[in-house]
Amino acid sequence: MYAVHDEFPQLPGLRYLNHAAVSPWPQRAVDAVSRFASENARTGARDYPAWLQVERRLRERLQRLLNAPSHSDIALVKNTSEALSFVAFGLDWRPGDQVVISDEEFPSNRIVWEALAPQGVEVVQVNLHQGNAEAALLAACGPRTRLMAISAVQYASGLRLDLPRLGQGCTARSVLLCIDAIQQLGALPFDVQASQCAFAMADGHKWLLGPEGLGVFYCRSDLRAQLKLHEYGWHMLEHAGDYQRTSWEPAQSARRFECGSPNMLGAMALEASLSLLEEVGMTAVENALQERMQWLLDGLRKIPGAHLHSAVERQQRAGIVTFSLDGWDNSALFNQLKQQQVICAQRGAGIRLSPHFYTEPRVIEEALALLQQLATA
């Protein structure tokens, strides 16, 4: 995979397995931010039109990564939570409407719907581990269900859902599908058209290898005008930049969700990071990540007292495996791993490991060897 490892000059001895939380930047993102900072110091905003071209390339890259029909369907937002709020507080709810979610969503994809309770909206939580997950979610959709909000990949267990099946089922039931894609976009191919989703969102700082503070919001074109806006400013106008115009209207594109000045610093970094993913290709990224996941799963199975809390079948997993170890409290095990420079997370029923496509084999080998020692100590 050419010189991909040169893009990630991580410290010797570091075993970074925490991409489901925050990813290290590739070197090209570091270089892009350094150039941008230097340019700001030397010439200020003299070349602002060139910066806007970087922002346009970023939208186009995100369009391709999501397989959105147009870059006009892409809004650059602060984070996934903001995008979810645009949907939750943009739709015209009626008392008695229902939102279907799973019972293991990240808080951002639960609280935002529970916050609609004063409007009479009911949240229906579905257990994903009693039979078929997709069937359970669709079975929970009744005549009052307005929207299904689901993570493409569950943040704690790593369970990956069949999005086209959910999309087909939601369409047949006239239910809007809203996908939190933060744990899939950049790890595996993702397709808003194949999933027939109404909305999708993700942050740039996990599998997309970018900075915190910049994310993507996809809104299907026929639904944009149906979302009531709550943020207004110069940048979200159809004629943004025409400061003498007194009449105004929101942009026809998804830029209507971007009220003020863009995060140019974040855009420089994320555009550079996405260029790496596109150069490698998402099919190659998926294959390399799944290979590393298989190494982890095979190794964990050999460790006495290790219990997997994640799906092992390829079609039901992405880049997350969660496990626990007999004789170890999860917090104590997490702290021990951290001391040994195994960068991971304590989530759900145990310890979450999340490699990426570039993760060197030695990182996985060393982490597994350490776990073997801890299991037999």
Domain boundaries, the chain: 4-17+281-376, 29-279
* CATH placement of domain 29-279: 3.40.640.10
**pLDDT for 5 beyond 90:** no
Q: What is the pLDDT of residue 197?
A: 98
pLDDT in tens, 269-300: 999 999 999 999 999 999 999 999 999 999 99
pLDDT of residue 364: 98
HEC sequence for the chain = CCCHHHHCCCCCCCEECECCCCCCCCHHHHHHHHHHHHHHHHHCCCCHHHHHHHHHHHHHHHHHHHCCCCHHHEEEECCHHHHHHHHHCCCCCCCCCEEEEECCCCCHHHHHHHCCHHHCCEEEEECCCCCCHHHHHHHCCCCCEEEEEEECECCCCCEECCHHHHHHHHHHCCCEEEEECCCCECCECCCCCCCCCCEEEEECCCCCCCCCCCEEEEECHHHHHHCCCCCCCHHHECCCCCCCCCCCCECCCHHHHCCCCCCHHHHHHHHHHHHHHHHHCHHHHHHHHHHHHHHHHHHHHCCCCEEECCCCCHHHECCCEEEEECCCCHHHHHHHHHHCCEECEEECCEEEEECCCCCCHHHHHHHHHHHHHHHHC
Question: Distance between CA atoms of 41 and 39, rounded to whole angstroms?
Answer: 5
pLDDT band at residue 377 using 50, 70 and 90 as cut-offs: confident
202, 216 contact by CB (below 8 A): yes
Instruction: Report the mean per-residue pLDDT for the chain.
Output: 97
Q: Which amino acid is at 281?
A: G
Task: Give the model confidence (pLDDT) of 207-246 as tens digits.
Answer: 999 999 999 999 999 999 999 999 999 999 999 999 999 9
- Give the residue-averaged pLDDT of 93-100: 98
Amino acid 75: pLDDT: 98
Q: Does the pLDDT of residue 248 top 70, yes or no?
A: yes
User: Percent of the chain scored above 70 by pLDDT?
Assistant: 99
- Whether the per-residue pLDDT at 13 is higher than 50: the answer is yes
- Condensed to tens digits (0 to 9), the pLDDT of residues 334-353 reads 999 999 999 999 999 999 99
**Domain pair 4-17+281-376 / 29-279, same fold:** no
Q: What is the mean pLDDT of residues 69-97?
A: 98
Q: How confident is the model at residue 1 (pLDDT cuts 50, 70, 90)?
A: very low
Angle at 99 between CA 170 and CA 114, to 5 degrees: 155
Model confidence over 128-183: pLDDT tens digits? 998 999 999 999 999 999 999 999 999 999 999 999 999 999 999 999 999 999 99
Q: Residue 107: pLDDT above 60? A: yes
Task: For domain 4-17+281-376, say whether CATH 3.30.390.30 is its number.
Answer: no
Total-model pTM: 0.97
Q: Which residues of 190-207 are buried (b: 16+ CB within 10 A; e: fewer)?
A: bbbeebbbbbbbbbbbbb
